[in-house]
Amino acid sequence: MNQPKIVFSAITLLLLFTAISVRSFAQTEIKPEIGPSYDIVLQIVTGVNDRARSDLPQNLSAVVKQLRGNFQFSSYSLANTYLGRVANAGALNYKSVSDILRPNAPGSQPSFVEWSLGNLRSTPNTSGERMLQAQQFRFGARIPINIGSRPDETGKIVSMTNYESIGLDLNRVTLAENTPTVIGTLTLPNTAGTLFLVMTAKPVEY
């Protein structure tokens, strides 16, 4: 006579236990943690001997001191600044037309710039301070080179231009957070100047 009641009670207890278990699992479920992100600032600095003084922002003052200790250029100037955001273990790729090497030359041909940063990771150094390491960094540019002149169909003298490729390829680049770091140099074609690549990684605050 009591068997239906016993079965009903067992089913009720089972449903109650299931509901409690699901709720408990939902409360203890571990949500995936979002890792840090960084604003990557790549500044292109040129060193030349045809200007009287340097023209650089204040955040590059330590970089200027470092450059003057290793190079004998009379002046340094900021040609351009590139910005990209990347998460921990992420990658960044950039391609664009640019006039960074001939900013004030009217009628000059543009340059083509490409740079990338691969597998950027946060890692502590031997002192326990947090550092950033990229598995690979590449910077390349195609630069217009004037190779002479010739008359066109109307007899007008026009210049002839060829494009020359320059570039830098580095593996395992390490830098400190919020610190402008010179990561490489390139010689400017047909000039006595040098191109300096300065990178800064700034943690993103959410």
pLDDT for position 101 = 60
pLDDT for position 166 = 86
The pTM of the full predicted model, rounded to 2 decimals, is: 0.74
Q: Identify the bridge partners of residue 145 per DSSP, sorted by sequence position.
A: 162
The mean pLDDT values, 10 residues at a time, for the chain of 206 residues are 51 55 53 77 90 77 90 88 91 86 59 92 79 92 82 80 88 91 85 89 85
Contact yes or no for 177/39 (Cβ under 8 A): no
Residue 59's nearest CA partner among 75, 45, 46 is 45
Classify residue 73 by its DSSP letter: -
Residue 178's nearest CA partner among 151, 201, 198 is 201
Spell out the domain ranges in the chain: 1-31, 37-203
From residue 141, alpha-carbon distances to 31, 32, 138, 162 in Å are: 43, 40, 10, 13
pLDDT for position 15 = 53
Residue 197's nearest CA partner among 121, 125, 139 is 139
Residue 193, both tokens: 């100047």
Classify burial at 43, counting beta carbons within 10 Å of its beta carbon; exposed 0-12, middle 13-18, buried 19 or more.
Answer: buried
Classify residue 199 by its DSSP letter: E
pLDDT for position 30 = 57
pLDDT for position 92 = 92
